[in-house]
Amino acid sequence: MAEVVVEIHVPLTPVAGLDRGAYPYPWIDQIEEFLTELEEDGTVEVTDDGEQFGDVYVFFIAGAAEAELLATASRAVSLDDVPDGAFAMVTDDEAAEWGLGRRVELPLS
């Protein structure tokens, strides 16, 4: 049976106002750290490393019910400096490629 996977798609937008030469996407590390902490406490499973996909950066989580995964995705994109315009794709671990499934705007209202 297929396992629910939530892809968190975040626009690859640099943070404004950083010092010259600073890493322009510190929010990637913030989200990865947040998801790693949740994985370590057993809340969710990070199924793959985050990766650039066109003009977005995608994170992958599973290991919980869809509602919990979407709540986690919403919390992740609500962290400081994460750009607006994020969305989730609700899919499963048998999907042929990324970006297929049901789109859910983030953060949840």
Contact 46, 39 (CB under 8 A): yes
Q: Which residues on adjacent β-strands are paired with residue 89? A: 7, 103
How many residues make up the chain in this entry? 109
1 pLDDT higher than 90 = no
More confident residue, 80 or 97: 80
32-77 tens-digit pLDDT: 999 999 999 999 999 999 999 999 999 999 999 999 999 999 999 9
More confident residue, 95 or 83: 83
Contact 32, 82 (CB under 8 A): no
State the Cα–Cα distance between residues 85 and 107, nearest whole angstrom: 9
As a whole number, mean pLDDT of residues 70-91 equals: 97
State the Cα–Cα distance between residues 29 and 50, nearest whole angstrom: 10
Residue 27 is encoded by which pair of tokens? Answer: 């929010």
Distance from CA of residue 109 to its chain's centroid? 17
Domains and CATH numbers, the chain: 4-105 (3.30.70.260)
* pLDDT at site 94: 87
